[in-house]
A and B are shown apart, each in its own frame.
Chain A
Amino acid sequence: MVESLLPVWVILLPVIGSLAVFGLGFTAARRFREWIALGVEIVAFLLSISVARQVWGGARLSSLNMALYVGGLSALMLVLVHAMVLVILIQAVPYMRKELVSGRTTDGRLTLFYALVLLFSGTMTWTVTTNNLVMLYVAMEGSTLATALLVAFYRARASLEAGYKYVLLVITGMTFSLFGIILVYAAGVQHLGSGRSALMVTEMGKIANAIPKDIALMATAFMTCGFATKAGLVPFHAWLPDAHAEAPTPISALLSGLVIKIGAYALVRTVTIFAPHYRAIVLFIAILTSTSMVIGIVMALVQDDLKRLLAYSSISQISYVFEGLGLGTYLGIYGGLFHLVNHTLVKALLFLSVGAIMYATGGKRRISELGGLASKMPITAVAFFIGALSIGGLPPFNGFMSKFTIFLAVGEAKLLWAAAIGIFTGMLTISCLVWAAYRVFWRKPAVEVVMANPGEVREVPFMMWLSLVILAAACVVIGVYPQILHRPLDVATRAVLQIWAGGY
């Protein structure tokens, strides 16, 4: 255990950056806000890499008397969060600039945009590094609240409705998880004594088997429902398609890539610790996720709006992550975390591709209004197609590797029906996404669409396709050479199992 202040700085840096961007918004220096945000994120990314390298080298970092604790799992999430915020910000700069020029937003609100994205980055870092159960809840609420005004960013009717639903439903769901956390704490006090140690995530393993069965099942059911709301699983998903579709597209990528993953992170921190002791929890999560993945993808099949289609597909994919993590076995947690990383990369790639399409066509996102874009936007077309194949789970791409691991883990847990449902959903996913890609990029557009688009659609500028190329390359590299991620995932999985065994 190494005492270090580095994790504190990774939290504080984006928060300070956020305040700086907000403060400079009142001065003439506000034209630098994009570059300040990018600069802060680059430094935060480098800091998180340096934290993670220490952890992967075998150390464990803790700060402020164990208030923050960075083990394998936190290190993985830390790098993922800052890498994704950075990649998404790279695309957000030209995208939001065009929104400003086209009059869909104002200068003042653009300042708020960058301030809130940085604040969100800080709350996410806090969520994945805190070692305190109640603070985990508070930090998750913080990440919801930081993104709320981003969802309602355009202040049009639809975005206000989406923002209202998002806050109300997610906060209501999260209140249930606070209930579960309180029950775990109150039960833990009987074994660990009053004070801070009963609140610590790292002490959960010691009490998971010791507290009364009724209380353990009650608490895990409450927590699962709360975290499933944050992750948008069916039947807690009502906010997700609206929020994803109505937010500015970089924010959709952020929501789908990171916000819903926090539900999975909280699940593996709490419920997974209980899962090996109680078969009922494993079954409950398997039934919940199997229902959710089928309904999610069936809803995606009938969507015409590309962003809603991707949002429903996220519901389906996050269910795979939950399914793996809920098993509580080495292979299950490994597969769940692997799919968590892969889905973050792929879904961000797909949403940013839609962002590129909207940038080039002046905001069109209905499949019926698009067509034949492949010749005009070759980079975006290839990127979207790689994303579609990967999320469908086709072999040379990363999605296949992680889904296959989850299927193996589910089979190992003797839940063959769940594996069958998973494979069936995978087939639906690939047909849904590839069909959408075909219609947008290769199908000859209808005459009225051509008339509405007088031939000025062209490939997006460098900063926009840069992030697409980075993410697409990551998908291919992880698919061809998955060993590249083995060390981080192995350390993360072992960290969870160590806590389960009562140590850290």
Chain B
Amino acid sequence: MTEQTLVVLTLAFLIVSIFTVELRNLRVTVFFYWMHSVFLFLTIAAYAHVMKNPTLYIWCGAVFLFKMIIIPALMSTFLKRVPIYEFRPVLGFAISLVIISSLEIIFFNLFRHYAYLLAPAGHYQQEPTRSLLAGAFTVFTLGLYALLTRRDALKTVIGLALMENGVHLVLLALASGLPETTMIGILTDVVVVVGLLLYISTTIYEVFGFTDTARLSELRR
């Protein structure tokens, strides 16, 4: 019962993540990024419950603080300074949605099938860790896709954040016994990265008048 809940939560997490990448209104995107964090939080909580691993609840608390509160707050602050509509991405809405959905389905199944390449021990290759790992890697590839195809500064930052979230999900699926200091180190690092990138993007908007990273090409002469 609870294992199935975990798989359903993982899938919902993936679908919300796709919307985070695809939607054009940046305010809605930030809201969906927050939803993505909520599902990350719920997935970790369900995993902690299934695996009966109380240390994972500490991760839950940290994810709540860093990813559900601080990072969305940073993004909303950024949006107060810049236009809320995204620059036209490389691909159109419909075609991008089709490509990303099919890619995600393929990746999810590939990662589930070749779990032995990613899971270093037999018990990680069983459900529910298997699906969780596949979901985490799929979110990672989704972030990479966003980084490669989106031109808006906020969207690239969201792509990076999705990649990091994927890595963190792998981290706690495979290495839940990590000491708290390393956990705080990694999460603080993400917050500083997002804050710094948004700060530089704000300055870019003030100087250039746009947040389109594809047009940052002064140096490509």
Name A's B-contacting residues (CB within 8 A). Answer: 132, 134-135, 137-138, 141-142, 145, 148-149, 152, 155-158, 160-165, 167-168, 171-172, 175, 178-179, 182-183, 185-187, 189-190, 194-196, 199, 211-212, 214-215, 218, 241-242, 245-246
Contacts and interface: CB of A to CB of B under 8 A. Distances in A.
Given A172-B147, A186-B120, A215-B120, A179 B186 contact: no
Contacts of A196: 179
Nearest to A178: B167
Given A164-B213, A175-B164, 16 more contacts: A134-B178, A152-B203, A161-B217, A161-B218, A162-B219, A168-B160, A172-B144, A172-B160, A175-B163, A183-B118, A183-B174, A190-B121, A196-B179, A215-B120, A218-B117, A241-B219
Nearest to A190: B121
11 contacts: A142-B189, A155-B207, A156-B207, A160-B203, A160-B204, A161-B216, A161-B219, A175-B160, A178-B186, A189-B177, A242-B219
Most buried by A among B121, B140, B200: B200
A141 B193 contact: yes
B116 A214 contact: yes
B interface: dominant SS: helix
B103 interface: no
A253 B116 CA distance: 44
A163 B153 CA distance: 13
Given A161-B218, A164-B201, A165-B216, A186 B189 contact: no
Contact of B120 (A163, A199, A211): A211
Contact of A158 (B178, B179, B203, B219): B219
Interface of B: 116-121, 124, 140, 144, 147, 153, 156, 160, 163-164, 167, 170-171, 174-175, 177-179, 181-182, 185-186, 189, 192-193, 196-197, 200-201, 203-204, 207-208, 213, 216-219
A165 B214 CA distance: 11
A182 B119 CA distance: 10
Closest 7 CB pairs of A and B: A187-B120, A186-B174, A194-B177, A138-B185, A134-B182, A161-B216, A215-B120
A199 B160 CA distance: 25
Contacts of B203: 152, 155, 160
A178 B166 CA distance: 11
A182 B171 CA distance: 6
A161 B204 CA distance: 8
A141 B185 CA distance: 10
A152 B175 CA distance: 36
A103 to B, nearest CB: 17
A156 B218 CA distance: 11
B200 A152 contact: yes
Contact of B185 (A134, A155, A158, A187): A134
A212 B120 contact: yes
Contacts of B124: 186
- Most B-side CB within 10 Å, residue of A138, A149, A214, A241: A138
Contacts of B208: 157, 160
Contacts of A155: 203, 207
Given A186-B175, A212-B120, A141 B200 contact: no
Contacts of B185: 134-135, 138
A245 B192 CA distance: 25
A504 B16 CA distance: 48
A458 B178 CA distance: 58
Contacts of B117: 214-215, 218
A246 B219 CA distance: 9
Contacts of B144: 172
Contacts of A158: 218-219
A132 B118 CA distance: 22
Contact of B182 (A138, A142, A149, A161): A138
Contacts of A215: 117-118, 120
A431 B204 CA distance: 39
Contacts of B192: 145
Given A187-B120, A194-B177, A167 B200 contact: yes
Contacts of A148: 196, 200
Contacts of A163: 200
Contacts of B119: 186
Nearest to A179: B167
Contact of B196 (A145, A211, A241): A145
Nearest to B163: A175
Contacts of A190: 120-121
B197 A168 contact: yes
Contact of B200 (A137, A156, A160, A178): A160
B170 A199 contact: no
B178 to A, nearest CB: 7
A167 B121 contact: no
Given A158-B218, A158-B219, A164-B197, A171 B160 contact: yes
